[in-house]
Amino acid sequence: MGYSQFGAMIPELIILGIFLVVFVADVFSRDGSAKKFLTPMTTVLFGLGTIAIWLLPSCEVSVFGGMYVNDTASMAIKAILNIGVFIVLLQSAHWVESDEVAIRKGEFYELLLVTLFGMYLMISARHFLLFVIGLEAASLPLAALVAFNKKHYESDEAAIKYILTAVFSSAILLMGLSFVYAFSGGSLYYSDIYTNIASGQMSGLLIVAMAFMIAGIGFKLSLVPFHLWTADVYQGAPTAITSYLSVISKGATAFAFFIIFVQAFGQIYPDCWEWMLYAVIIATITVGNLFAIRQKNLKRFMAFSSISQAGYIMLGAMTSSTIGLGSMMYYIFVYIVSNLGAFAVITSIENKTGKVGMDDYDGLHKTNPWLSFAMTLAMFSLAGIPPFAGFFSKFLIFTSATSTGSMPLYILVLIALINTIISLYYYLLVVKAIWINPGEAKVEAFKSNTGERAALWICVAGIVLFGLVPYIYEYCYNAALIPGLGQ
């Protein structure tokens, strides 16, 4: 095996390189110094890395005997996620300087980069071994990140809940994988599984294996009923981690889910997992909504909203086609800017005042009109109100789901549409609190920090422009033109 094969893993190497630089700088800088340089350095390095990944020529490479593949779609989703992580870094720039965290901010960046590295492996894996390594690399450091406010009871509780359920779900996933291994004639390559598990030979064991696979991966996506950890963890974790969990982790896993189920289990789609996914999507969208309408804590609220959004993302997987993958990637991109826009506002307000209740947002427009404006746009986009990006992403993902023309999928989209109406209610609750609810503003006027402001600007620009500029969707669609997918 030549080391030249590593050259194919450019995005991973970039992340790894940044990780090493940050690590070395963190370890070897003098103790006791405030390490003020660390945050700007990481942000700038990561920004450069993001630009580099966007500019990289997309090509088809398959290395390590086909275990690792970098195709146009993988490159595109990595580029998209990178932007999301960059926004997360910007909005956390102020938080990491707070007294409690400042001394450990190196760890924060290192752990974050390692999880991102794991997610990249998940995205590019075409062999289950690599996939599981990526999954674990993405999961375990996250538990440490969730517990980052270690002196806070909620943070520790969240981490414990997260690690326990994560371990359990990994076990289930591996169990499912072992069943798959039995069927695939001793190979864990996606392509081998594809050829060996043909339709027409369904058995109870295979169905159980599929259910366990969906459960194991659905855990990270927080699909219902594998989602119960989500709310507690989102609420307890530091807000920067919550926003990271809600978009980046979800985006990467959704993409990996699509690749696995289309490229490894594509043949048994109509027999088996189409209906499982169907049921799970309906449950996810509906239950997420049902819980979201009762929440009073904004972080918890965002947790349930993100559960529901994950259901919409998975609609893209219902048609294992280019248009499905393209609209899924587009949805993820739009979801990143919309959700992170909301989180940027929540972070700013939490950092200044410590308030995260929905009641605290009453009359916010009187004191902080710009934050109110940004939050309103984010909510409109999440709810899918034209002309904001969220409308177009929902529209495209619905179109893709109905593109095969099968009646059950129309029903699925109808249910999703009804749920959109319900979601409108709770997203508008936030808008109502900000603009309409009477009473004095509970949050005093303040100026948010540079990083948070920059993050907000990016998100608002994305929310306004992504729908109106046709290139973004075209980019996603063209990237999704990978072999093995129908139109």
Partner 1 sequence: MSVTLPILILAIPLFMFLLLGIGGVKMSRKLAGILGITALGAVAVISYYVAFTYFFSGDSLFIDDGVRQQCQMFDVTWLAFTDRMVVNIGFLLDPISAMMLVVITTISFMVHLYSWGYMEHEPGFQRYYAFLALFTFSMLGLVVATNIFQMYIFWELVGVSSYLLIGFFYKLPSAVSASKKAFIVTRFADLFMLIGILVLSYYVSNAPADGPLGSASAFNFQMLNNNAGVIANTVVGATFMSGSVLTWAMVLIFVGGMGKSAMLPLHIWLPDAMEGPTPVSALIHAATMVVAGVYLVARFFPLYCIVPDSLTFITIVGAITAFYAAVVACTQIDIKRVLAFSTISQIAFMMVSLGVAYNQPIEGVHYSGLGYMASMFHLFTHAMFKALLFLGAGALIHAVHSNDYTKMGGLRKYMPITHWTFLIGCLAIAGIPPFSGFFSKDEMLAAMYNNHWFWGAWMSMVAGLTAFYMFRLYYLIFWWEENPEYKKEGHKPHDAPWQMSVPLIFLAAVSCVAGFIPFGEFVTYNGEPYHIHLETPVAVTSIVIALLAIGLATVMYAKKNPLPAKFKNAMPGLWKAAHHRFYWDEIYQFVTHKIIFNIICRSIAWFDRHVIDGTMNALAYVTNFFSVKIKGMQSGYVQAYVLWYFAGALVLAVITWICLI
Residue ranges binding partner 1 (CB under 8 A): 160-161, 164-165, 168-169, 172, 202-204, 207-208, 210-212, 214-215, 219, 224-226, 228-229, 231-232, 271-272, 275-276, 279-280, 287, 289-291, 293-294, 418, 421-422, 425, 470
Q: Kindly tell me which of 39 and 423 has the beta carbon lying closer to partner 1.
A: 423
Q: Kindly tell me which of 272 and 458 has the beta carbon lying closer to partner 1.
A: 272
CB of residue 193 vs partner 1: minimum separation in angstroms?
Answer: 18
Q: Kindly tell me which of 24 and 198 has the beta carbon lying closer to partner 1.
A: 198
Q: Kindly tell me which of 108 and 301 has the beta carbon lying closer to partner 1.
A: 301
Q: Kindly tell me which of 231 and 237 has the beta carbon lying closer to partner 1.
A: 231
Give strand pairing partners of 189. 127
Contacts of residue 254, Cβ cutoff 8 Å, sequence gap at least 6: 221, 310, 313, 314, 316, 317, 328, 332
Q: Kindly tell me which of 41 and 422 has the beta carbon lying closer to partner 1.
A: 422
CB of residue 209 vs partner 1: minimum separation in angstroms?
Answer: 9
Q: Kindly tell me which of 295 and 449 has the beta carbon lying closer to partner 1.
A: 295
Q: Kindly tell me which of 77 and 245 has the beta carbon lying closer to partner 1.
A: 245
CB of residue 276 vs partner 1: minimum separation in angstroms?
Answer: 5
CB of residue 467 vs partner 1: minimum separation in angstroms?
Answer: 11
CB of residue 457 vs partner 1: minimum separation in angstroms?
Answer: 13
CB of residue 481 vs partner 1: minimum separation in angstroms?
Answer: 17
CB of residue 471 vs partner 1: minimum separation in angstroms?
Answer: 10
Q: Kindly tell me which of 124 and 169 has the beta carbon lying closer to partner 1.
A: 169
CB of residue 337 vs partner 1: minimum separation in angstroms?
Answer: 20
User: Could you give the count of Cα atoms lying within 13 Å of 78 in the half-sphere of its Cβ?
Assistant: 33
CB of residue 371 vs partner 1: minimum separation in angstroms?
Answer: 16
Q: Kindly tell me which of 159 and 349 has the beta carbon lying closer to partner 1.
A: 159
Structure tokens given for 10:
């450019």
CB of residue 169 vs partner 1: minimum separation in angstroms?
Answer: 7
